[in-house]
Amino acid sequence: MPVVLTIAGSDSGGGAGIQADLKTFEAIGVFGASAITCVTAQNPDAVTGVTALPPDAVHAQIAAVCAGFPVAAAKTGMLFSKEIIRAVAESLDKYPVRALVADPVMVATSGARLLRDDAVFALRDMLMPRATVVTPNLQEAEVLAGRALTTPEDVRSAAARLAADIGTAFVIKGGHVDSGPDVVDILADRDGNLIEFRTARVKAAETHGTGCTFSAALAAYLALGSSLPDAVGKAQSFVARALARALPEGHHAPLAWNKAAS
């Protein structure tokens, strides 16, 4: 069973972050390990507190996992500060992994900021060039591109430009793009080639955790040996099934990770 490492924040509500990543890994059939960057107090409605761990504690977790397991792939989520980003980048230089999925988590679904303003450039300069693929949503892609993306053509051109400028593949997720009845995710490889992935848009009560789940699924499928395009398509389908099969839990409807593998 391949080992996949998630480097991300803890979501006390269980719907995103480390908790969503580990549930995704379990559903797909890889062994999940974790390095926690921040502890958040949150549920799908709001983030009420963020406590960042010291960068050396983040490094120590990554070192311990990589010393004990043959890590086939890793993903990053909430990194919060440039100091933590630097620690993660240096750790991945010391303990390289075959595939790295960088999810540039900036803002929670509830609107809370999960990345400091001064950390955006650190994320772009220190971490993204080390990644196999970067997975921004529309708002994150706009920050990285430095302009509004209002049409599907804007998204395609931004994906190609970001891939060329940073030197790695980009998937801009289409959940927030007005593309009609389908969600369209755009993959741009390092050479600027574009591939579209379409799935029917799911009417969902909540989308909390979909970005984390997508990047975790992508890392898991890469660890299992899928090519990047195949892994993107499988990750998109996994998220769609998890949304479609969600069931009420209390006041919320979290993703059905355990029902989304097939």
Region 209-230: mean pLDDT is 97
Please tell me the predicted confidence (pLDDT) of residue 236.
96
Distance, in Å, from the CA atom of 105 to the CA atom of 207, rounded to the nearest integer, reads 15
Question: Is the confidence at residue 178, as pLDDT, over 70?
Answer: no
DSSP-derived pairing of the beta strands 71-76 and 31-43? unpaired
Express as a percent the part of the chain with pLDDT over 70. 97
Closest by Cα among 184, 153, 154 to 171: 184
| C-alpha to C-alpha distance for 66 and 92, rounded to whole angstroms | 10
Place 181 in a pLDDT band, splitting at 50, 70 and 90: confident
pLDDT at 151: 87
Name the residue type at position 171. Answer: V
Written in H, E and C, the secondary structure of the chain is: CCEEEEEEEEECCCCCHHHHHHHHHHHHCCEEEEEEEEEEEEECCEEEEEEECCHHHHHHHHHHHHHHCCEEEEEECCCECHHHHHHHHHHHHHCCCCEEEECCCCECCCCCECECHHHHHHHHHHHHHHCCEECCCHHHHHHHHCCCCCCHHHHHHHHHHHHHHHCCEEEECCCCCCCCCEEEEEEECCCCCEEEEEEECCCCCCCCCHHHHHHHHHHHHHHCCCCHHHHHHHHHHHHHHHHHCCCCECCECCCCHHHCCC
Poorest-pLDDT segment among 11-15, 111-115, 131-135: 111-115
Question: Mean pLDDT across the stretch 5-34?
Answer: 97
pLDDT grade, residue 152 (50/70/90)?
Answer: confident
> Which class would CATH give 3-138+204-259?
alpha beta
Residues 6+ apart with CB under 8 A from 168: 128, 129, 131, 132, 133, 134, 190
- What are the pLDDT digits (tens) for 30-54? 999 999 999 999 988 889 999 999 9
Residue 191 confidence class, pLDDT cut points 50, 70, 90? confident
pLDDT at 110: 66
Which residues carry out catalysis?
Answer: 173, 207, 209-212
CA pair distance 134, 102, nearest whole angstrom: 5
Given a cut of 80, is residue 175 above it in pLDDT? Answer: no
Lowest mean pLDDT among 72-81, 82-91, 171-180: 171-180
Q: What pLDDT is recorded for position 38?
A: 97
Q: Which of 107, 113, 53 is nearest to 85 (CA)?
A: 53
pLDDT of residue 88: 98
User: Is there a contact between 117 and 150 (Cβ–Cβ < 8 Å)?
Assistant: no
At residue 181, φ and ψ (nearest 5 deg) are -75, -10
Say whether pLDDT at 192 is over 90: no
Burial class (CB in 10 A: 0-12, 13-18, 19+), 50: middle
More confident residue, 111 or 121: 121
How large is the average pLDDT for residues 125-141? Answer: 95
Average pLDDT, the chain: 93
Q: What band does 245 get if pLDDT is binned at 50, 70 and 90? A: very high
The answer to whether the predicted template modeling score (pTM) of the entire model surpasses 0.85 is yes
pLDDT at 179: 63
What is the C-alpha separation between 169 and 180, in angstroms, rounded? Answer: 25
Residue 222 has what pLDDT?
Answer: 98
